[in-house]
Chains A and B, each alone.
Chain A
Amino acid sequence: MTFSAKRWREDFPILRPSAKGRWVYLDSAATTQKPEAVLRAVDDYYRRYNANVHRGVYRIAAEATERYEEARQRVARFIGGDPRGLIFTRNTSEAINLVAYAWGLDNLKEGDAILVTAAEHHSNLVPWQLVAKRTGARLRVIPLDEEGHLDLSQLPELLEGVKMVALGHASNVLGTVNPVEEVIRAAHEKGALVLLDAAQSVPRMPVDVKALDCDFLAFSGHKMLAPMGIGVLWGKPEILEKMAPFLGGGEMIGRVEWEGSTWREIPWKFEAGTPNVGGAIGLLAAVDYLEKVGMAAIARREEELGQLMARRLRELPGVVVYGPRGQRTGIVAFNVEGVHPHDVSQILDEEGVAIRAGHHCCQPLHRLLQAGSSCRASVYLYNDEEDVDRLVAAVQKVREVFRVPG
């Protein structure tokens, strides 16, 4: 069966054509649009059974609790993990901060190292900088080769003294997918733990934490059809059990005395305060939707469109495309020579094409690319070849307005 973006697109109210025609959304790496099924699930919760979870005994409180815990089970199954290790957070950043603080402060000391890559999103870099400062640990960086792939030639040396490898699974700029299995194996041989920033991988390819054998995995719901404000940290239960809580408050306690308190079992130990129940229920509906489309089909489709987009943009004179020429995801960063990304995206907006312009929360990577910022077009299951045509035509318009030679 061929993949029909057109058919999926009908499920997304925001993507319906207006009187001015159809607009093209190419910023799904920032956040995806939401299908009816997700909007309805969230709406149904707030209209019909809104209640706090794990507290009331009345009917709708029980229903809300049941659905919230069902979301945990469902999302854990989606990533092939033990649901006891699945913690709901606000987003990927909060999930990574949880590990950086709750694990890092107790397990890092002077002389230890944390290994990241040169392509990390600020959310998988800044939390480690903060914790490194507090503990005296040092940050070490895996370099990239010319196409943006990890240069693993020095990996054994880089891993010396490393306690934590914090690694992006798929780049939000370069469109690369890192060979994380290899890094995880090497890290475990040296006794280091591995956290995967999966914000750009879980939405766009099958991810199985058991097969990967990562220790922690972090991702955001809003980049995979769910509402904003719901994210996930999955961790190996045996590691989470040994960690101190991250935030204190309601819901996460066992018994509270003036002298101190005991904690609930995992995962609730890490969910202080009233959680985002509507968000979790939205994520449950999103995961159902994604499995209906099929994650393997989504990954194949992304790769096709990513390749097409990169090739067509490269054909335009005066356009630089970053990242690999070979296998890639549907995230393509580029620049039009002599035209600032803000100006590019402004013209594209006028042509009904929405892309991202800026440093995409990757300032160190952009310094490496010798570009202050870039344009980024990213596809999802509702995009097709026609959208790529629209993008290319709009970039040509940019070259006319700014008289880019060639």
Chain B
Amino acid sequence: MSLDDLYQELILEHARYPHHRGTLADPTVTLDAQNPTCGDEIHLQLKLSGDERKIEDIAFSGHGCSISQASASMMTDLVLGLSVKEALEKVQAFQDMMRTGEPREGLGDAVALAGVSRFPVRIKCALLAWMALKEALEETGAM
């Protein structure tokens, strides 16, 4: 187990220059999630297509460690343009990867976070954005 797994260049790059960071003018759903043990916060916004089946736009803001920021950035890249059902499958796949430590296919850059599973206290950092997304999608009631 080495720190290089945790702080790969790809992860540091996403943390330094996160994608889809900001706010949406006209979000369908907005969700705030916190990690009470460290105080990290994410403010996630989704714009869903008219029939509420597709993620047309996504943005996040808030503050957190490099792992939580990189994870949010990678997640937004991955789920943009997906249907609600597909996005929820990605969340499940990411959760599985955090649990088992086995890299999963179809997670885009987020597969680089597989190594986080070996740092148990950091798993919740990586999961913060994904749990917020799951809750936001469930909140839309468009299952």
Contacts and interface: CB of A to CB of B under 8 A. Distances in A.
Contacts of B37: 358
Contacts of B40: 340, 342, 372-373
Interface residues of A, number: 17
Given A372-B40, A372-B41, A373-B38, A340 B66 contact: yes
Contacts of A347: 3
A340 B7 CA distance: 13
A372 B6 contact: no
B63 interface: yes
A358 B3 contact: no
B3 A366 contact: no
Contact of A372 (B3, B63, B69): B63
A342 B67 contact: yes
Contact of A346 (B3, B39, B63): B3
B97 interface: no
A291 interface: no
Contact of B39 (A339, A363, A402): A363
B64 interface: yes
B66 A359 contact: no
B114 interface: no
A402 B7 CA distance: 9
A378 B70 CA distance: 30
Interface in A34-60: none
Contact of B38 (A339, A350, A358, A402): A358
A358 B65 contact: no
A357 interface: yes
A363 B36 CA distance: 10
A361 B122 CA distance: 19
A402 to B, nearest CB: 7
B12 interface: yes
A342 B39 contact: no
A342 B119 contact: no
A366 B63 CA distance: 14
Nearest to A360: B39
Contact of B65 (A342, A350, A363): A342
A210 to B, nearest CB: 39
A208 to B, nearest CB: 36
A366 to B, nearest CB: 7
A346 B119 contact: yes
A402 B12 contact: yes
Contacts of A363: 39
A343 B40 CA distance: 13
A50 B91 CA distance: 51
B125 interface: yes
A120 to B, nearest CB: 16
Interface string A51-80: 000000000000000000000000000000
Contacts of A342: 38, 40, 65, 67, 122, 125
Given A358-B39, A372-B63, A346 B12 contact: no
Interface string B59-78: 00001111101000000000
Given A401-B7, A402-B12, A346 B122 contact: yes
Contacts of B12: 402
Interface string A327-354: 0000000000001111100110010000
A359 B39 CA distance: 7
Contacts of B6: 346
A343 B116 CA distance: 12
A350 B65 CA distance: 17
Contact of A357 (B3, B38, B63): B38
B83 to A, nearest CB: 33
A172 to B, nearest CB: 15
Contacts of B125: 342
B10 to A, nearest CB: 15
Interface in A384-404: 401-402
A372 B69 CA distance: 14
Interface string B4-22: 0011000010000000000
A341 B66 CA distance: 10
B63 A343 contact: no
Contacts of A402: 12, 66
Nearest to B69: A340
B65 A340 contact: yes
Contacts of B119: 346
A276 B7 CA distance: 44
Contacts of A350: 3
6 contacts: A339-B66, A342-B40, A342-B65, A346-B6, A359-B39, A402-B12
Given A340-B64, A343-B7, 11 more contacts: A341-B65, A342-B67, A343-B65, A343-B66, A343-B67, A346-B6, A346-B119, A346-B122, A358-B38, A372-B40, A401-B7
The 6 A-B pairs with the shortest beta carbon distances in the complex, nearest first, are A340-B65, A342-B65, A359-B39, A358-B38, A373-B39, A350-B3
Interface of B: 3, 6-7, 12, 37-41, 63-67, 69, 119, 122, 125
